[in-house]
Chains A and B, each alone.
Chain A
Amino acid sequence: MTDKPNKDIDVHSGVETTGHEWDGIKELNNPLPRWWLYVWYATIAFSILWWILMPAWPALPGFQGNTQGYWKQSDRAQVAEEVGELQSARIENAQKLLNASLVDIEKTPELQQFALAMGESSFGDNCATCHGSGGTGSVGYPALADDVWLWGGSLDEIQETIAFGIRSTHDDTRYSEMPAFGRDGFISEEEIDDLVQKVLALSGKEFDPAAAARAEENFEMQCSSCHALDGKGDRLQGAPNLTDNEWLYGSSPAAIRETIYSARNSIMPHWNERLDEATIKALAVYVHTLGGGE
């Protein structure tokens, strides 16, 4: 600090001012406490130590990565470690899920609450993409919160569906295949149009009685083996009930026609190879409690 010619000395304290003034209040230029300086030196020393201990410097141009540091600190490894810790912390409760029957899990408040928490998070990660959060469902993906089930809505049936899937690549998968009546030439285009009217009639919608009558014979021959004579379906084959008001692919004549013409045969993957058994049980309980469980 050089000596300025017009030094402004504060009359009250005898201290030089910085020359800054606000509404008559002047800033004194007192020296800083020396220990502040020492703290600053300490932070410099600390930063050098930190460069040595922690990953700090990017590599020179042409080289990969950065300095690893003595501690080899890695956020990625730390996350993996923390996830591992969480999983081992859950083992005790997960083991309880494995030991209990699905019915008991749902009836025991403590187990139910653990299963629901676990099921909800797993459902969000794995199932909600197709079935919607909360099991809302969408076109082609069944709603899980209502009371309509293609393959059964009991706890055990839900667990089996999740574990082995529907038309999946697993040997124990739930399997059935509706023929593509139009595309594969089983019946004529006109016969399909008539069948559409028959299906509309079954579910109590507006229909053409003459066309529906013409379709009776074809319905009996082609459809009733799976959907039953009264159209109420068959869960053993995953054949939907045609008389209710729930439509997986829509209730318009065009959508029904497309279903008969090309068949849908949608696929759900099996999860037993991706999720552990406790998670699948938790998911089964979660789906069951969404509201549709039988």
Chain B
Amino acid sequence: MQEDIKTPPPGHSALYKAREPIYPKLVSGNFRTVKWLVLIFALAVYYILPWLRWDRGPNAPDQAVLADFAGGRFYFFFLEIWPQEIYYITGLLILSALALFLVTSLFGRVWCGYACPQTVWTDLFIAVERIFEGDRNARIRLDRAPLSFNKAWRKVGKHIVWLLISFATGGALIMYYHDAPSLFSNFFTGHADVSAYVFAGILTFTTYALAGTMREQVCTYLCPWPRIQAALTDEDALNVTYRWDRGEPRGKHKKGTSWDDRGDCIDCNACVVACPVGIDIRHGDQLECIHCALCIDACDDIMKRVERPTGLIGYDTTKNVQARADGIKPIYKLLRPRVIIYALLIVFIGCLMVYGLSTRSTFELNVIKDRAPPFVELSNGDVRNGYSVKLVNKRGKDREVRLSVSGIDDVDVKIIGNEAGDDTVIMSAEHVDRFRVLVTVPASADKKSGKRLVIDAVDVETNDQQSNRVFFAMPKEDE
């Protein structure tokens, strides 16, 4: 089959090509074990996380991880992010990106090979396929066989289980956006919001399509990450590599014959049949390769059987394979400038985030000066400016706050809705309150130009203080 693609029949080249089905063979080994563990861990986190509870007091949701779009809050255990603090999410995304850069420059596409949802769910779907249709050879036979009851129930059963897993995937996603237990019961009694059904439906469809039918085509055709990697990896990054210096010249080997003057590769094709993206790792690093390391397990198994050292395929660099072939001592350089820079950036941004999160206040003040009119001259000649004072209370309790103005002498401060002289306001819990404050200076004041004044808000109970400097506009003297 492989040869058919490489040399199209003369005089004809097809415009379109159907996907060549891939039947990955089950392997066992260290990497396969790691991949099973990562799969179980990742799926467990995904499905269990929305069901964890976290007590935040009476007026807040008790879901540990919740993206509450209706209420404009993002809850993550002890963290509560408001829309105006979305930069924390940005910071988290930047950290994730840098972590990805770091591991890529160290070990190549480990994200693709082990942790990417596309890889995890495809692995799960292939496992289901194996339960219904058997391993590689049985699946090939089944696909070639004419339709029969045996073939039909296996295929139908597989697709039903796939759909159930897909539905569980889509259903779990929406739990992150609403209170999981109540949404769960509403969902199945038909009382959930339309959007819940729509998003569960979309995720069900995409999971089924991407992990069930499209599989490696997502990585090869759709995903930008494999392309971005080219810029992130270099000749010192460890990739899944066929050590051709040891393997070549390859050839079949009869038990008991000599291993002299030949390579260790016995051309058994174990690495090829194990590959979930249908390539031959012995052609070198390829665009399609997701570096899942299953060929390493497959090859090691064979090497043990023929009593040769394992590691004919392993994490290595093309440069070092070439060096060994040339008889030079290979050099492994994991600590390179890019690795150090990524690590420092991660530490720096991580520290910034921790600092920001640990010192952030649950109490904010924003003063917005009236623009129209910029100032008002009263009938007795006094000059007044109006301000909108926005007080943000991110605490679960009301606050009593005292507002004061400094920077200009003899000002008269009036808070709309308060009696004259009353300078305290109540901020409701978990709320942004807006107050109007009028500041008046007497006619006798120096009117040479506009002035700055400082509006302070002090929590009466905790003495937390927030200040804003604002402009105070004056009429020009010659008017």
Contact = CB atoms under 8 A, between A and B. Distances in A.
Interface of A: 1, 3, 13-16, 29-37, 106-110, 112-113, 116, 132-136, 143, 145-148, 241, 244-246, 289-293
Contacts of B400: none
B48 interface: no
A242 B438 CA distance: 26
Contact of B217 (A16, A33, A291): A33
B304 interface: no
B373 A34 contact: no
Given A13-B6, A109-B417, A133-B372, A146 B434 contact: no
Contacts of B436: 116, 289
Contact of B381 (A15, A32, A113, A245): A245
B19 A3 contact: no
* 6 nearest A-B pairs in the assembled complex, by CB-CB distance: A134-B372, A14-B6, A31-B17, A244-B379, A136-B373, A34-B16
B425 A109 contact: yes
Contacts of B371: 134
Contacts of A145: 373, 376, 386
Contacts of B8: 15-16
A147 B379 contact: yes
A34 B18 contact: yes
Contacts of B12: 3
B465 interface: no
B360 to A, nearest CB: 25
A207 B428 CA distance: 57
Contacts of A1: 13, 15
Contacts of A245: 377, 379, 381
A147 B17 CA distance: 81
A245 B379 CA distance: 6
A291 B379 CA distance: 13
Interface in B180-238: 214, 217, 221
A125 B377 CA distance: 26
A107 B416 CA distance: 8
A33 B13 contact: no
B426 interface: yes
Nearest to A111: B417
A116 B416 CA distance: 11
Given A16-B8, A109-B428, A134-B373, A35 B416 contact: no
Interface in B1-26: 5-8, 10-19
A13 B286 CA distance: 12
B378 interface: yes
Contacts of A241: 379
Nearest to B220: A33
Contacts, number: 95
A132 to B, nearest CB: 6
Nearest to A38: B16
A134 B378 CA distance: 15
B364 interface: no
A291 B438 contact: yes
Interface string B379-400: 1110010100000000000000
B7 A14 contact: yes
Nearest to A10: B6
Contacts of B438: 291
A147 B6 contact: no
B219 to A, nearest CB: 13
23 contacts: A3-B11, A15-B5, A15-B8, A31-B15, A33-B217, A33-B221, A34-B19, A35-B214, A36-B16, A37-B16, A108-B417, A109-B428, A109-B435, A110-B428, A112-B417, A113-B434, A134-B371, A134-B373, A135-B373, A146-B377, A244-B380, A245-B381, A291-B438
B459 interface: no
Nearest to B434: A113
Given A33-B16, A136-B372, A145-B376, 14 more contacts: A3-B11, A14-B6, A15-B6, A31-B13, A33-B18, A106-B416, A109-B428, A109-B433, A110-B428, A116-B436, A132-B372, A134-B372, A146-B376, A146-B379
Contacts of A132: 372-373
Nearest to A245: B379
A145 B436 CA distance: 13
Contacts of B5: 15
B428 A29 contact: no
B370 interface: yes
Nearest to B16: A34
A145 B11 CA distance: 86
A291 B417 contact: no
A32 B16 contact: yes
B379 A246 contact: yes
A291 B435 CA distance: 13
Given A143-B376, A291-B384, A35 B19 contact: yes
A267 B436 CA distance: 30
Interface string B52-73: 0000000000000000000000
B141 to A, nearest CB: 24
Nearest to A36: B16
A146 B385 CA distance: 10
Nearest to B19: A33
A116 B390 CA distance: 13
Contact of A289 (B13, B16, B217, B416): B416
A13 B217 CA distance: 19
A50 to B, nearest CB: 18
Nearest to B426: A109
Contacts of B379: 146-148, 241, 244-246
B386 A291 contact: yes
Contact of B373 (A33, A109, A143): A143
A107 B417 contact: yes
Nearest to A2: B11
B325 to A, nearest CB: 19
Contacts of B10: 3
A33 B372 contact: no
A245 B479 CA distance: 12
A246 B379 CA distance: 6
Contacts of A112: 416-417
Interface string B417-458: 100000001101000011110100000000000000000000
A29 to B, nearest CB: 7
Nearest to B427: A109
Given A16-B8, A116-B436, A291 B16 contact: no
Contact of B17 (A16, A33, A107): A33
Nearest to B386: A291
